Amino acid sequence: MQKVSMAQKTDTIVHINGDILTGDLKKMVYGVASYKMDGMGTISMEEVKINTIKSKKMFEIKMKSGFIYFGSFDTSGIDRKVNIVVTNGRELVDIDQIVEIYPIRNNFWMRTSGNFSLGANYSKGSNVATIAFSGNLSYRKKKSYWNFAWDDNNTFQSDTISSSKADVSLAWQRLLKKKWSAQVMISATQNSELGTKLRTGINLTGIRDIAYNNWNRLYAGAGLSLTNEQSYGGADAKYDLSGVITAGWKVYKYTIPKVWVDANVSYLPYFTDSGRYRISINLNPQISILSDNFKIGFTSYYAYDSKPSDENASTNDYGINLTLSYSFH
């Protein structure tokens, strides 16, 4: 392996074939490092292709064990290993044991990342069209981050909105020890098919990573949800307390064609409304086009409410759309 100069002022990644790449390490997550190089723009490199890293910048480094380091990188002289330099020394770790790398930046914009998706579907036979707009914005700090997300689906028939579904949420998540994190989320939901005019709520959830490596992340969580719900049927708004059981799975393949699959399911049994429960399922497979920032795919959802607040409403709602997405940072 070629040696990296100690005077190097830029981030350096050494490829397993011996090539030395210099530039700006933007992040590493889901098995791929994003790296900005002069004249080439931002490139992606699979974690399995990285032999070692050198950088004097400070990073938040998350390991498979759930342990989090705050430090810089130095080469080790050993293939597929790197030294993490911290205030009281250094730790020699396997590259394969690192699951996330995020620079600790002072710039607000550089701490922010997000994606935007636009979807549509049309059936000539039924003269039904669906337009969907969704996205999220994340802001990361040491051991915590904020996430603002929205998803708006409107179905049109003969130039009239026949049904609509909208979700918006703001979540704060704090990383804890041993693969655990705590999340507080406030949300608002509207779904005409299920008779929900407006449901606002606050959730408190504990989340644990079950598996996290260079091709997938599987996590599960449980907690409580307090909601206030208004129906289209005209009934008085009511407060409810329910449990929350959730699981999510992210699968990613960075060999061409590059594929991402996000799936999550939530189950909410009500404590204050006997026999009532809600289920939510989302599936979003995507494939890259042009670059990792542009993707095309499908978004689909299924929502079930065993006892809708509007007795004339349906108990289930579902939809699927073709989507085009753009992400940054």
Q: Please give the tally of structural domains in the chain.
A: 2
Q: Other CB atoms closer than 10 Å to residue 275's CB: what's the count?
A: 8
From residue 92, how far is each of 1, 15, 82 by CA, in Å? 17, 18, 6
CATH number of 175's domain: 2.40.230.20
Per-residue pLDDT of the chain (329 residues), as tens digits, is 444 433 345 899 999 999 999 999 988 988 888 888 877 778 888 898 999 999 999 999 999 988 999 999 999 999 999 999 999 999 999 999 999 999 887 677 778 889 999 998 866 555 788 899 999 999 988 889 999 999 999 988 876 667 899 999 999 999 998 899 999 999 999 999 999 999 999 999 999 999 988 788 999 999 999 999 999 988 889 999 999 999 999 998 877 788 999 999 999 999 999 999 999 999 999 998 877 789 999 999 999 999 998 989 999 999 999 999 998 87
Q: Is residue 4 part of a domain?
A: no
Using DSSP's 3-state secondary structure scheme, residue 81 falls into strand
Q: Are residues 167 and 213 in the same domain?
A: yes
Residue 75, strand partner residues: 82
Establish how many alpha carbons lie within 13 A of residue 220's alpha carbon, considering only the half-sphere containing its beta carbon.
Answer: 4
- DSSP class of residue 95 equals G
Q: Are residues 17 and 144 in the same domain?
A: no
Q: Are residues 262 and 165 in the same domain?
A: yes
pTM of this structure: 0.84
Could you give the residue ranges of the DSSP H alpha helices within 182-310? none
Of the residues 103, 134, 149, which one is the last residue of a structural domain?
A: 103
Instruction: Give the residue numbers spanning the domain of 67.
Output: 11-103
Q: Are residues 123 and 33 in the same domain?
A: no
Looking at residue 323, its amino acid is T
Whether residue 253 contacts residue 279, with contact meaning beta carbons closer than 8 Å, is answered with no
Q: Are residues 224 and 308 in the same domain?
A: yes
Q: Is residue 1 part of a domain?
A: no
Residues 158-191 as b/e (b if ≥16 CB within 10 A, e otherwise) read eeeeebebbbebebebebeeebebbbebebebbb
Length of the chain: 329
Q: Is residue 5 part of a domain?
A: no
pLDDT tens-digit profile of 159-201? Answer: 666 789 999 999 999 999 889 999 999 999 999 999 999 999 9
Question: In the structure encoding, which two tokens stand for residue 188, read together?
Answer: 């608002």
Q: Are residues 149 and 298 in the same domain?
A: yes
Q: Is residue 293 part of a domain?
A: yes
Q: Is residue 261 part of a domain?
A: yes
Q: Are residues 120 and 247 in the same domain?
A: yes
Q: Are residues 99 and 114 in the same domain?
A: no
Of the residues 103, 131, 160, which one is the last residue of a structural domain?
A: 103
3-state secondary structure 295-311: EEEEEEEEEEECCCCCC
Q: Is residue 6 part of a domain?
A: no
Whether residue 182 contacts residue 174, with contact meaning beta carbons closer than 8 Å, is answered with yes
